[in-house]
Structure 1
């Protein structure tokens, strides 16, 4: 078991105390992080004691403890999975060589870019979600939001540690910049588009944590294969925490569907206006939110053909999802993969070199995983006797990146003209009226065991506590 030293100012399992220069640099960054948290972290939450899970070990059998703590006092720290002195690079041009403990000079710029891009997403989602505590549908949900927020903060620490330890002055400057960019800021926005979108309400939050945190799962899994061992070990531990974020999204949407189905059955209607009038979210609105969050998230994987993706793989910087379970040669030269393009108004497949299509490979893995979860949501409707089913839109729908960017496409995957897109867009993507309606339901409910009328309670509480446990003590 690799325990974490909590006697240090910065809890860690990397013997930080033995590197005084690095420790002083990170202790210098820490006040800026707390200032950022106070400035754009969860709104109005400073005096709350929140029932949070804190990592105490990287052993999967007993890695966390629970207790009430103020979020700004949360013990953020630096935790890497245990190392393996004999680990080898298992893909790309360096396959079979010893994994790297330091950054090779020729890969320095690319590795820094990968770490900065990953690091930039972590504070961005805290900024996107900062107002949600003011409209939480229950104390249970508010606590889950805050747990995600502190873990995104820790994931930022994970990337900042790598920048400080392995990239010298450049790394220190990049670490400062991670706190200077801000989600949605016109002058200094976050690096990736999805992290500049608003998360205006809790339905958007559940969709974000289901889809966009799932992108995180796949990106982190690809980085957990990296030949750069400190990055691989860091992201492996981050995945332990990421699983909770996706659970919050999946179970959140399930509970919204459960409540909507109950209202439809009580009223014996599928009329969206009647469902809305009864204070539930109609299935059409849920489908439009799904369409939007899914399409924005699959853009995060990048262009369908990318020379950078080929370079990152061949160099050993970033593998595929579950690289070790694949049965090919893990070098991929001469292999092909199918990507989509539109020619003469038709959607066609074409073969391209697999190395250049690795973004698409990862996107397709993500899609398969996402579709499975949507199937679980449909089981909620099926169990309630509701015939409607949620559907994942075609991967060419509403794309802004790559060969499919700007193509007008129906959710079923049919190329449409500008007129049809304009006429049908309000059926396919959330409208201002949808956002206004969902916003109208967002009243704060924080009495233990009570839930807003648009969402069902969870099946069980957190860490075997009852659902009506006092998850937050308001100061």
Structure 2
């Protein structure tokens, strides 16, 4: 199939003049469309969806709204504009010119970084592929599909880098990104969180709130990279990632709003009575927050990491908002405070900052996610409900790092095995909780109507009303 590169694949990487890259993408695109047909949103092929499409990086080009059939979505390839005389801002190469080509000595490490990031993009589409069948409104269905197509575009962005800069190895990695499957026993996705199920809309909203926020911080770190094409690619991806975080935070906020309204109507905080009224009680929402916070926290890896130190010193991956940090940007003599477990106590100790870069990024993420939880807490406060959501301790329910081999309560207490076994059902979603949430998942697809368990949004997408026909079924 011959592709009109300027029309079919919007780009600012001169795709129409790069014959080698054209041939690589001509081979890859049909495989991508086959993957989308098999693993993309279920039964959605013929829908007309009111989607945002990026056609350029300019302010008037990255958010064009119109009805689109998703298999015909124009997945583009965009890098933010290059900066003249741009220098590396951290690590051993600080002050040198940024790289336009991959240095040979960093080739395999950089390829692994790009592949790992790229693997998360199709994984989340696979995790969410059945959710469209139980959407609580056309508005929410459209937001799900917007997230899905943009995760697909982010996959294109990473595959472009692999094809353009890594030759045959890159082409093979691009094919492998379409062969792995989320949750597959034989060929799973690379990171554990992207093999978890997303069986309901509460899980989806929590995922986009917590796990897509990890995506924000990982992309922001890669946007500092000395490899300029990667940095410029990730900077543009961040403009789209912001909407994903909005979908999650606003979705949970609307669930809280609806529950609090019913609590006031019924004058009760009894979970049994609230469930009988068809809403999700606040303690159950807290359990889902605990779960998604802890699973996502593991994505940052171990608190002490020689790999993270290597990525930094070699210039491959910086810190969040590197330029705003007031230090020497080499960290040869700097320290950072991390938590540790000694016997039956949780302690803090200072370690070389280079070795604690995973923990620093996790701390930046925790600060950002706490700000979102603070915004959630304004809802019950405004409605006179005496309930506040609280982030669990960083050691809670961890499978990686200092806390992997101990049991930690949400308040940070270390527990014996027996106490954890007895108590964890009070802190994490039980099978009963998940079955109840699942029981609410019936589709509500009449324009302007919203499922009973979630409030309508305050405003629509792109200045459209909340009863706009965001999805048309054909």
TM-score strictly above 0.5: yes
Match of 1:169 in 2: 168
Alignment of 1:331-370 (within 5 A): 331-370=330-369
Q: Please give the alpha-carbon distance, in whole angstroms, between the structure 2 residues aligned to 1:287 and 1:256.
A: 12
Q: CA deviation at 1:406?
A: 3.0
1:449 maps to 448
Partner of 1:188: 187
What does 1:113-192 align with in structure 2 at a 5 Å threshold? 113-192=112-191
- Is contact 1:257-1:380 (8 Å) kept? yes
SS for the counterpart of 1:7 is helix
Contact 2:5–2:16 (CA under 8 A) maintained in structure 1? no
The C-alpha deviation readout for 1:327-385, integer Å capped at 9, x for no partner, is 10000011111111111100011111110100000000000000010000000110011
Aligned residue in 2 for 1:294? 293
Cα distance in 2 between the residues matched to 1:18 and 1:50: 32
- 1:12 and 1:24 map into 2 onto residues whose CA distance is 16
Aligned to 1:325: 324
Alpha-carbon contact 1:398-1:406 (below 8 Å) kept: no
- The answer to whether the aligner puts 1:31 opposite 2:42 as a matched pair is no
- Partner residue, 1:407: 406
Partner of 2:101, secondary structure, is coil
Unaligned runs of 5+ in 1: none
Separation (CA, whole Å) in 2 of partners of 1:273 and 1:80: 51
CA distance in 2, matches of 1:225, 1:255: 35
Question: What SS is found at the alignment partner of 2:8?
Answer: coil
Q: Which residue of 2 aligns with 1:281?
A: 280
Which residue matches 2:232? 233
Distance in 2, Cα, partners of 1:113 & 1:139: 38
SS in 1 for 2:6: coil
- Where do 1:198-277 residues align within 5 Å? 198-277=197-276
Q: Which residue of 1 aligns with 2:473?
A: 474
Aligned residue number for residue 57 of structure 1:
56
Residue 8 of structure 1 and its aligned partner are, at CA, apart by 3.8
The Cα shift of 1:40 comes to 0.6
Q: Deviation digits for residues 99-134 of structure 1, max 9, x if unmatched?
A: 000000001011000000000000000000000000
> Is 1:332–1:355's contact at 8 Å kept on the other side of the alignment?
yes
Give SS of 1:68's match: strand
Q: Which runs of 5+ in 2 are unaligned?
A: none
> Cα distance, 1:62 vs. partner?
4.7
Name the CA distance, whole Å, in 2 between partners of 1:33 and 1:147.
18
Q: Whole-Å Cα distance in 2 between the matches of residues 393 and 60 of structure 1? A: 39
Aligned-residue Cα RMSD (Å) equals 0.9
Cα distance in 2 between the residues matched to 1:20 and 1:171: 16
2:43 corresponds to which residue?
44
Give, in angstroms, the shift of residue 63 of structure 1: 2.3
Is the contact between residue 10 and residue 27 of structure 1 (CA under 8 Å) also seen in structure 2? no
Q: CA deviation at 1:403?
A: 1.6
Aligned residues: 471
Matches within 5 A, 1:98-117: 98-117=97-116
CA distance in 1, matches of 2:415, 2:8: 58
Aligned to 1:15: 14
The two structures have a TM-score, normalised by structure 2, of: 0.98
Query: What displacement does 1:19 show?
Result: 1.0
Contact 1:217/1:242 (CA < 8 Å) preserved in 2? yes
After superposition, the C-alpha distances for 1:436-475 in whole angstroms (9 at most, x for unaligned) are 0000000000000000000000000100001000101101
Give the 3-state SS of the residue equivalent to 2:341 in structure 1. strand
After superposition, give the CA deviation of every residue in 1:171-193 in whole Å (9 maximum; x if it has no partner): 00000000000000000000000
Q: Shift in Å at residue 7 of structure 1?
A: 3.3
Secondary structure class of the residue paired with 2:278: coil
Partners of 2:406 and 2:164 in 1: CA distance:
44
1:161 is paired with a residue whose SS is: helix
- The C-alpha deviation readout for 1:171-219, integer Å capped at 9, x for no partner, is 0000000000000000000000000000010000000000000000000
Look up the SS of the partner of 1:180 in the other structure.
Answer: coil
Q: Measure, in 2, the Cα distance between the counterparts of 1:10 and 1:53.
A: 15
Distance 1:422 1:10 in 2: 53
SS at 2:358's partner residue? helix
Per-residue displacement from partner, 1:129-187 (whole Å, max 9, x unpaired)? 00000000000000000000000000000000000000011100000000000000000
Verify the 8 A CA contact 2:219 2:238 in the aligned structure 1.
yes
SS of match in other structure, 2:181: coil
